[in-house]
Amino acid sequence: MKILFIEDDTIETMKLHRTVSKLQMRFDIVEAKNGEEALAVLRSGDELPDIILLDLNMPRMSGIEFLRILKKDDKLKYLPTIVLTTSENRADLLECYRIGIAGYVIKPLKYADYELKLQKVLDYWSVNELVKA
Ligand SMILES: [Mg+2]
């Protein structure tokens, strides 16, 4: 499964890699540091990801701005996008669901909890039928 991981924080990126490396299934992770970079990756002509994991607070282009553009794009709007954030802001959550997301996951502070939660998310997506581009 190919994941586009959109996150500005390098520690968060390391956490994801560490979590994924412990799983049986193989995940191919493509990284982008903000919404702009993510759109460039998606429009590069490379094979599209199966799912997108999206942070909300990022410089240049936030997760919500990225989501708005993604959902207006006739080709990219089908990509399941799961928000992965520390924001417990209810307005952010509602806005993301309104625009269209496949999940909203709050990152636990403790690494062990993060790992358990992320494993569940990835297990869930690994049994889903995915939009093959
Ligand atoms: Mg961030």
Q: What is the structure's pLDDT at 87? A: 85
Does the pLDDT of residue 115 top 90, yes or no?
yes
- The neighbourhood of ligand 1, an ion, using CB within 5 A, equals 8-9, 55, 57-58
Q: What is the structure's pLDDT at 25? A: 86
CA of 54 to the centre of ligand 1 (A): 9
- pTM surpassing 0.75? yes
pLDDT digits (tens, 9 = 90+) for 20-59: 999 988 999 999 999 999 999 999 989 999 999 999 999 9
Q: Are 84 and 39 in contact (CB under 8 A)?
A: no
Q: Which residues contact 56 (CB under 8 A, 6 or more apart)?
A: 62, 63, 64, 83, 85, 87, 92, 96
CA of 56 to the centre of ligand 1 (A): 6
CA atoms of 8 and 34, how far apart (whole Å): 6
Structure tokens, 52: 């997108």
pLDDT digits (tens, 9 = 90+) for 77-107: 999 999 999 988 999 999 999 999 999 999 9
CA of 57 to the centre of ligand 1 (A): 4
Q: What is the structure's pLDDT at 133? A: 59
Number of residues assigned to the chain: 133
Domain 2-126, CATH number (from 3.90.850.10, 3.40.50.720, 3.40.50.300, 3.40.50.2300): 3.40.50.2300
